[in-house]
Chains A and B, each alone.
Chain A
Amino acid sequence: MTRRYKYIGRSLRKIDALAKATGRAKYTDDLSLPGMLHGRLLRSPHAYAEIIAIDISRASKLAGVRAIITGDDLPARYGIIPSSQDESALAIGRVRYVGEPVAAVAADDEETAARALELIDVSYRLLTPCLGIEEAAQEPPGPDGRLHKAIAYEFGEKPGSAPALERTDLFFYEGNTHLALEEHAALAVWKDGKLTLRCSSQTPFHLRQIVAKIFAMPEEKVRVIVPSLGGGFGGKLDPFSHDICAAELARRTGRPVKFALAREEVFYCHRGRHPSLMRIRSAWAKDGRILDLDFEACLDGGAYGSFGIVCTYYHGALQPTTYRLPHYGFRAARFSTNKPPCGPKRGHGIPQPRCALEVHIDKAAEQLGINPVDLRLKNLTTPDSITVNMLRIGSNGLRECVEKVAKASDFRRRYGRLPHGRGLGFALGSYLSGAGVPIYWNEGPHSRIRIEATAGGVLTLYSGATDIGQGSDTVVVTVAAEVLGISPQRIRLVAADTELTPLDLGSYSSRVTYMAGNAAKQAAENLKAEVSRLAGPRLSFEAALRIALEKTKTLEAWGSYTPPKKFGTFKGSGVGVSPAYSFSACVASVRCDCETGFVRVEKIHFAHDIGRALNRACVLGQIEGGIHMGLGEALCEEQVFHSSGLHRKPSLLDYKVPGLFEMPELDIHLVESNDPGGPFGAKEVGQGPLIPIIPAVANAIYDAVGVRIDSTPFTPEKVLEALDAKARGGSGRLGPDRFPEVLFPEPIRVRQDA
């Protein structure tokens, strides 16, 4: 039975919508302070080189230049995760990609800072860059080698029965980038031994911790504030050179320093999707049951670690959340190359393997003679189950998602039967509602929320979560309002300020609705209980609050969320663990022009197990945005480089983000599986919806014209090349045909009964 809610589930206005729509909302670069200096970064023109000398003398003499720093001025090593402390704010000794910051200038205005950069003389000794997986895998191992991380696992037991079908496939997923519309910015003030850093960060609390470490000062002396944030998608999770240089230059000059990056520089910040070369082997029973799955991947990590190790683990973590696998082998290696660092982009390390897997299953379905939808249905995971890799699945609306899109698209009747040039493709996906294990391991809560009631009944909710556009501010306020039975407009919000708000781990891994939402719910419940204890029961909250505030000056209540303990105990078992998983299914309908190779995605049928939609318009907006970004990865977006290491397309004109005309018709279904642990049953929607789009489009292209494009993006030129090959009697497959020799470690063996 569904409970009736007053605010939950409705399409309420986001609490920041009017401020943003009227231009009143201030983003970092909208801020300016008296006496403020402007910072600029000098970036490396070489992909790989030794820095012989840096001469700042000419630049220092330029009128209006207030300070110049180089790598030696900021020697501390850091990185977003504890096991990858390999970055420095400015290059020390070597540069490892074109665009890597080498020096930073603070000047009276941006023009002067830019002129100063031209006057800094850097001499380099060029080294031979390594720009791809194949090259990297060939380099000898060792401390100077290119292998950053290699992992290997074997889960479950091989079934005794002989498979009816075995197949192996290779797939290459090209790198791409977030491209949030707001260019990164930071504004630092260093006053009386205290640093205040306002910047476009998705993780203010991690940034505070890292900045405090770099400057060897206590965390309470660092205050990170996130003004309105113009989109993140994972691209603003890492600590960046401009954040740290702004702080150091503010310390040196005693004046506020602002960095506002140009678009080209954002491409160098990157931390986007890892290019990934993957190999899948599977074994199937005649009736379509998967007997065995073996997955290998080589990730092209770029120059630094970032979240790359996590990405590497994620490459193997979530295949088992959708399919029951008796036996599952997983090996992955991440290589360092001389390109901007890859990291967490919407979906983290999951879209690449999911794409490879869903295309692989489509191929298996054809060989087995089973409709792709029915083949999946034979293997789906169920609610309240444990996966072969020891992940605990609670609510699971996957079956309903599959049936919904299959029915809406009439898939079983139309698949394989549309006229040449038109096709349907099916794929599914799954994502976490927040990582169950924190980046910096501790047993504390992942989210805390404080609600304060002060004279006159003023209610203020303090949330450390960062609204990156996904609506987290609206979520925490709506959840509290529902519990208290008052309008969300009654609640003031203070958010994403490390001094004023309680700790929240940040806006990543789709964790905020689930974790901060639960904390908000608990805080509101605690406040409500306290108010009724003071005022007595049976009054409306507003009436009771008035009485309670007569008895005590202020009231405060706390809520927090700590995810349940992970189930697996083996090394690496922390990755993929989540209190709840979202599930999605997608059918893409495409039309392919056989003369030009252009693929037009005409319609997307999409179903998402959201647990419960807290704000319907926000949920649909996340799904629509995820589909849009997924289509970009499928059809046109690629972060690619010249052989010199220069980025081929570091602009919004050349890096092709789909526009309005590229959007297909959408048919979206919400499946509400009502997760028992989620706030009012809710699960994530920020990242999951992107994931099945790419393989669904790939599979639809095959249904339309019979070619397999096994490398993203599925561009017209690739489709045409494959059509040509097919016309010449070839297979019509375009994709990688080699997987490098990688020395993976001995696998960690995990059995469920152990």
Chain B
Amino acid sequence: MSAASGRALRFTLNGKRRSLRVSPHRTLLEVLREDLKLTGTKHGCELGECGACTVLLDGKPVYSCLTVASRAEGRSVTTIEGVSEKHPLVESFADAGAVQCGYCTPGMILSAKAHLEKKGHRCDGRGDCAKEALSGNLCRCTGYYRILEAVGLAARKMKRRSRDSKI
């Protein structure tokens, strides 16, 4: 064991190794937004009740507002900044009209990304599995249908891309 106070945090962030000093009471949300200036991760409650701050920790969606930063030690964190503009989900969210005020969008995309990667793109966005995967993210603008459509659209695109890459 080791007592902690402003100790070094080493983790992989969007594919790159990072190391910085972090006080024990800092959440991953605060470290990302304030120390690393990655403001793509949003916050809507800071209590794990909205999903805007969703990031991927070793590929799984977590609320960064509930994740004490030291929990990322040695692990891999993906934020929206680690998702390319050409990613099928980003494109599909834009194409399907799934982005209104955009505040829930980064969290939604990360939840959807984890879902599609786990499901191996066997999801058309219409079934219960997509709803279940996005059920920890609130959206106040869209009524969710454009978002589900975007997920289905992205799944088809990803399937096509992976098929094409096999040829």
Contacts and interface: CB of A to CB of B under 8 A. Distances in A.
A22 interface: yes
A528 B54 CA distance: 46
Nearest to A624: B143
A328 to B, nearest CB: 34
Nearest to A619: B97
Contact of A660 (B38, B41, B85, B131): B131
A182 B44 contact: yes
A660 B100 contact: no
A680 interface: no
B145 A663 contact: yes
B104 interface: yes
B140 A14 contact: no
A625 B39 contact: no
Interface stretch (B45-53, B114-122, B158-166): B45-53
B81 A181 contact: no
Interface string A312-327: 0000000000000000
A418 interface: no
Interface stretch (B2-10, B67-75, B87-95): B87-95
Contacts of B95: 11, 13
Given A23-B41, A263-B46, A181 B103 contact: yes
A609 B99 CA distance: 23
Interface in A475-520: none
Contact of A17 (B40, B94, B106, B144): B94
Nearest to B41: A23
B136 to A, nearest CB: 9
B13 to A, nearest CB: 13
Interface string A448-471: 000000000000000000001111
A263 B44 contact: yes
Interface string A638-665: 0000000000000111000101110100
Contacts of B101: 20, 180-182, 228-232, 468-469
Nearest to A689: B143
Most chain A CB neighbours (cut-off 10 Å) among B33, B39, B43, B99: B99
A661 B135 contact: yes
Contacts of A230: 42, 44, 101-103
A179 interface: yes
A29 to B, nearest CB: 8
A170 interface: no
A661 B131 CA distance: 7
Interface string A611-636: 00001011011001111110000000
A26 interface: yes
Interface in B131-167: 131, 134-135, 138-146, 148
A103 B94 CA distance: 43
Nearest to A654: B49
A181 B104 contact: yes
Nearest to A621: B97
A743 interface: no
Interface string A14-25: 101111111111
A30 interface: yes
Given A14-B94, A23-B39, A231-B140, A182 B146 contact: no
A262 interface: yes
Contact of A11 (B42, B81, B97): B97
A629 B140 contact: yes
A564 to B, nearest CB: 31
A656 to B, nearest CB: 11
A563 B41 CA distance: 41
Given A14-B99, A618-B97, A652 B141 contact: no
Most buried by A among B79, B81, B90, B94: B94
Nearest to A179: B140
B100 A23 contact: no
Given A18-B85, A661-B135, A23 B80 contact: yes
B77 interface: no
Contact of B45 (A25, A180, A652): A652
B28 interface: no
A21 B100 contact: no
Contacts of A625: 100, 140-143
A17 B104 contact: no
A617 to B, nearest CB: 3
Nearest to B131: A660
A16 B93 CA distance: 12
B44 to A, nearest CB: 5
Contacts of B109: 21
Interface in A691-744: none
A462 B114 CA distance: 39
A282 B37 CA distance: 61
A471 B145 CA distance: 17
Given A22-B80, A652-B45, A652-B138, A663 B143 contact: yes
Given A11-B97, A181-B140, A653-B49, A620 B146 contact: yes
Nearest to A622: B100
B42 A651 contact: no
B106 A183 contact: no
A95 B160 CA distance: 62
B138 to A, nearest CB: 6
A598 interface: no
A666 interface: yes
Contacts of B66: none
Nearest to B34: A32
List of 4 A-B pairs having minimum Cβ-Cβ separation, nearest first = A23-B40, A469-B101, A20-B102, A617-B97
Interface of A: 11, 13-14, 16-27, 29-30, 32, 178-183, 228-233, 262-263, 468-471, 615, 617-618, 620-621, 624-629, 651-653, 657, 659-661, 663, 666
5 contacts: A14-B97, A18-B90, A651-B49, A652-B50, A657-B140
Given A230-B103, A625-B100, 18 more contacts: A18-B85, A18-B90, A20-B102, A21-B94, A22-B83, A23-B39, A25-B102, A27-B39, A178-B140, A181-B44, A181-B104, A263-B46, A470-B100, A624-B145, A628-B140, A651-B47, A660-B144, A663-B144
